[in-house]
């Protein structure tokens, strides 16, 4: 059965063998709480890197028992992030997680040419699963946090990652909308023409087993009435499972509007590396980080 709620992701991974999670620079209350909840739920075994005294002080201040966690002391944030990546490369961890460090430092560790997690030619992308209170199913979105202004090759990769994640959620034939400001193909607007090109590639079978359409306004992608009024047909219009945004501004505004003003819940990860890499905001809740751990564990197989 398709997964339509974030809680169902949690349930799906609780019955599987535990993954080993390395959390980088883990002296953050929400990160510690989420990892401990994931350990208690049988989802992962937890390994932390960072300033051990600061981690233990944080645990005491939050009333957390850090006994189930293994801690590698490294007070320097960049070296702690690199150490977490080293644990993955050494086969000691199956998942990577960002703790209390900036996204650019986290990504630097993943992308490091000598010690990182990306094979030559690989494209990293951010995938977010959104549970919106006004939409009947989960929406898988990309790219909301990693690629600022994707070119055509990167958009093709983002689309493929969205489809792959939807299949992980049990959607056998995903419906993906390429979001733009207008459904018209506007020759002077690169994102519009690239969306049309990707949609035509999908028509020619270059995304087997998926429907991909665009350019398409967000309203027409998720609202059947808006799609009808605009005269849009096809399986994607008004019923999208996934959204591919033209650039990071559009995707990030959608993410923050959904979470901060509309009460949406999310889970997020970076894909394209050798293992799923959990990437949520340092300000995200324990619930968001726990759901992100579960999503990454599900994606890891």
Say whether pLDDT at 282 is over 90: no
Confidence (pTM)? 0.96
Q: Which of 271, 294, 269 is nearest to 98 (CA)?
A: 269
pLDDT value of position 98: 96
pLDDT value of position 45: 98
Which residues, other chains included, contact 271 with Cβ-Cβ below 8 Å and sequence gap of 6+? Answer: 124, 125, 126, 127, 161, 164, 165, 277, 299
Which residues, other chains included, contact 175 with Cβ-Cβ below 8 Å and sequence gap of 6+? Answer: 210, 211, 213, 235, 236, 239, 240, 241, 242
Say whether pLDDT at 140 is over 90: yes
pLDDT value of position 114: 93
Q: What is the mean pLDDT of the chain?
A: 96
Say whether pLDDT at 41 is over 90: yes
Confidence tier at 42 by pLDDT (50, 70, 90):
very high
Output the six-digit token pair for 110: 């993943």
Mean pLDDT score, 62-82: 97
Residue 286 in 3-state DSSP? Answer: helix
pLDDT value of position 283: 74
In angstroms, rounded to a whole number, what is the distance separating the alpha carbons of residues 195 and 247?
Answer: 12
All structural domains of the chain with their residue ranges: 6-118, 125-260
Per-residue pLDDT tens for 253-270?
Answer: 999 999 999 999 999 999
Output the six-digit token pair for 135: 């939409």
Residue 24 in 3-state DSSP? Answer: strand
pLDDT value of position 15: 85
CATH class of 6-118: alpha beta
Q: What angle do CA 212, 191, 266 make, to 5 degrees?
A: 60
Per-residue pLDDT tens for 142-180?
Answer: 999 999 999 999 999 999 999 999 999 999 999 999 999
Give the position of tokens 């087997």. Answer: 208
Distances (CA, A) of 103 to 106, 118, 146, 189, 213: 5, 16, 9, 30, 31
Looking at CATH, the fold of the domain delimited by 125-260 is given as Isopropylmalate Dehydrogenase (3.40.718)
Handedness of CA 289, 101, 254, 124 (dihedral sign): negative
Mean pLDDT score, 101-129: 95
Say whether pLDDT at 1 is over 90: no
Cβ atoms 62, 28 nearer than 8 A: no
pLDDT value of position 22: 98
Mean pLDDT score, 45-74: 97
Per-residue pLDDT tens for 187-220?
Answer: 999 999 999 999 999 999 999 999 999 999 999 9
Output the six-digit token pair for 191: 């994102």
Confidence tier at 277 by pLDDT (50, 70, 90):
very high
């Amino acid at each position: 059965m398709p997964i339509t709620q974030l809680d169902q992701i949690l349930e799906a991974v609780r019955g599987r063998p535990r993954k080993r999670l390395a959390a980088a620079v883990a002296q953050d209350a929400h990160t510690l709480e989420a990892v401990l909840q994931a350990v208690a739920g049988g989802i992962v075994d937890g390994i932390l890197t960072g300033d051990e005294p600061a981690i233990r002080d944080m645990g005491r201040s939050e009333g957390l028992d850090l006994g189930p966690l293994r801690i590698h002391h490294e007070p320097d944030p960049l070296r702690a992030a690199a150490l977490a990546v080293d644990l993955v490369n050494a086969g000691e961890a199956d998942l990577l997680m960002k703790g209390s460090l900036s996204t650019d430092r986290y990504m630097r560790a993943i992308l490091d040419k000598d010690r990182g997690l990306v094979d030559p030619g690989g494209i990293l992308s951010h995938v977010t699963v959104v549970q919106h209170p006004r939409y009947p199913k989960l929406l898988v979105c990309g790219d909301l946090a990693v690629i600022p202004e994707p070119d055509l090759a990167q958009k093709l990769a983002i689309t493929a990652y969205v489809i792959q994640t939807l299949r992980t959620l049990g959607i056998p034939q995903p419906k993906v909308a390429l979001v733009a400001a207008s459904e018209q193909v506007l020759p002077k607007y690169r994102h519009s023409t690239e969306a049309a090109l990707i949609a035509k590639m999908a028509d020619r079978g270059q995304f087997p087993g998926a429907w991909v359409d665009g350019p398409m306004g967000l309203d027409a992608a998720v609202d059947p009435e808006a799609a009808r009024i605009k005269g849009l047909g096809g399986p994607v219009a008004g019923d999208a499972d996934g959204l591919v945004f033209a650039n990071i501004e559009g995707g990030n505004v959608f993410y923050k509007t959904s979470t901060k003003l509309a009460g949406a819940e999310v889970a997020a990860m970076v894909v394209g590396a050798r293992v799923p890499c959990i990437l949520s905001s340092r300000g995200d809740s324990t619930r968001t980080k726990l759901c992100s751990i579960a999503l990454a564990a599900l994606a890891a197989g």
